[in-house]
Structure 1
Amino acid sequence: MLTTGVPSRSLRAVSAAVLVSATALVSPAVLPTAAAAVCKDVQVVFARGTDEPPGLGRVGQAFVDSLRGRIGNRSMGVYAVNYPASYDFLAAADGANDASAFIQDVVNTCPNTRLVLGGYSQGAAIIDIITSVPFPAVGFNNPLPPDVPDHVAGLAVFGNPTTKVGLPLTSSPVYGSKAIDLCNFGDPVCSGGDDVPAHRSYGPDGTASQAAAFVAGLL
């Protein structure tokens, strides 16, 4: 399900939706990359799902692999958001702070780099926070400056908790036209369904390729 629309967003709804992501399940992932030292044409920032080991996570890796094959000879950097990804969902604020710091560093040091932001489950909620909350709150103390949207080419989230409460990333008045917010039918994290396997199937089911094609079209 690809959601659209432009309802208002709020920190309360975003924070509440983070708590919904408890059903996110795990799989192996690559280790996170270091902060970018060389400017890339494209820089992906991806936040893994709950209880996945440090790195991009299964969905993030599938998305990055698919996107890399769609951007021709352009260089691409990859950053895995550094945060606990634990069942202490308030710690998602740590991920939001980390992602924001990295994004700001890229914008300041590599102004011509096109940013791609993404996340799965609790990681999707992190992307919601940094794109929707312009002030410090609930542990999030590093909001993005107002010029950052000019550097963001596209956003892709999977199993996004805020979609369940009617606030998909596509509803953002700033980022909505650049975003794809994918929710599998029956996924209990992003919909009213109760099909837990639907939440596990992002990536291999073709959604990573779908998101990569959407983002590549914006680059």
Structure 2
Amino acid sequence: MPKRRVGARRAAGRSRRLVLIGISAAVVAAGAVVTPQAFAGTSGNGTTAAAERGSFLQRLRDRFSSGGAQTGGGNAGGGNAAGCSDVELVFARGTGEPQGLGIVGRPLAQALAAGLDGQKVGSFAVVYDAASNQRSAGPGATNMTEHIESVAQSCPETQFVIGGYSQGASVTDIAIGIRGAGTAGKAIPAALRERVAAVVVYGNPLGLRRQTIAQASPDFAGKAIEFCNNGDPVCGGGNTFSAHLAYPRNGTVQRGADFAVGKLG
């Protein structure tokens, strides 16, 4: 490949990284203004506290001994064990946000539970650094995948809705097997992909590569929805920074929940 073309690609890659790194501080600063409640117990029903208590196995032990992280009512479905959710949202927060579901994931969990009234709806906040250098996306994908594997084994009827915001969308991309979406991470095994009913992402950096989940991951194309606001520099190459922070209040959270509810039947 000519040196000039290699240099141009490297420069483009550096430019994308600078955009993503530059946005992280504002996500934190503006998040408390956009949705102040998102930073108070953002895990959705105690997930953050569980994550901070110790190892992954300990979190699972806490989860099932306490009946799971539930946000909805009703009874567990068919073959599920006691304490299992009918549906679980597994969501990765954006760059720089404190551990938890974050400014987008928290209202999404609430909207999903409201749309599935009569079912047990749980939520899990992916445990990862959400570092400004974007290199934590791969480890985040591994945590997302391993959590799904563990819950799927214990709860044979639980269905999953997965997603993320900003770098959390990259976490999701890697977890569904999209190559080159970030650092290396573990993808959801093929045998479990049918258990993922819907994929909902916001401000997905994959858009900077002029790609969508539908294009890059055929297995999930029919059950994925992506939201990229006009002018969002993270997913659309725009220059309106506030567009990347508008998802919690512009109706797209409800639209994402409605889409997932539709896929869950």
TM bucket, shorter chain: 0.7 to 0.9
Partner Cα distance (1:128, 1:16) in 2: 20
Please tell me whether Structure 1 or Structure 2 has the larger radius of gyration of its CA atoms. 2
Structure 1: which 5+ residue stretches go unaligned? 1-14
The equivalent residue for 1:76 is 121
Q: Secondary structure at the match of 1:174?
A: helix
Partner Cα distance (2:122, 2:205) in 1: 27
The equivalent residue for 2:191 is 147
The equivalent residue for 1:60 is 105
The equivalent residue for 1:89 is 134
More displaced 10-residue stretch of structure 1: 29-38 or 87-96: 29-38
The equivalent residue for 2:205 is 161
Deviations 1:172-215 (A, max 9, x none): 20001101100000000000210000000112111100101111
Instruction: Report if the CA contact (8 A) 1:29-1:56 is conserved.
Output: no
More displaced 10-residue stretch of structure 1: 22-31 or 171-180: 22-31
Q: 1:40 aligns with which of 85, 97, 100?
A: 85
Deviations 1:64-115 (A, max 9, x none): 1111110121001100000111113112222111111101112211121110
User: How far has the Cα of 1:217 moved from its partner?
Assistant: 0.6
User: How far has the Cα of 1:31 moved from its partner?
Assistant: 4.6
User: How far has the Cα of 1:170 moved from its partner?
Assistant: 2.7
Identify the structure with bigger relative contact order (alpha carbons < 8 Å, sequence gap 6+). 1
Alignment of structure 1 residues 154-193 onto 2, 5 Å = 154-171=198-215, 172-193=217-238
The equivalent residue for 1:196 is 241
Instruction: Report if the CA contact (8 A) 1:62-1:204 is conserved.
Output: no
Q: TM-score, normalised by structure 2?
A: 0.71
- CA 1:139–1:180 in structure 2 vs 1: closer, same or farther (change >3 Å)? closer
Partner Cα distance (1:186, 1:53) in 2: 25
Q: 1:30 aligns with which of 29, 36, 41?
A: 41
The equivalent residue for 1:218 is 263
Instruction: Report if the CA contact (8 A) 2:214-2:222 is conserved.
Output: yes
- CA 1:166–1:68 in structure 2 vs 1: closer, same or farther (change >3 Å)? same
Identity %: 37
Structure 2: which 5+ residue stretches go unaligned? 1-12, 32-38, 48-58, 65-82
State the aligned residue count.
202
User: How far has the Cα of 1:161 moved from its partner?
Assistant: 0.3
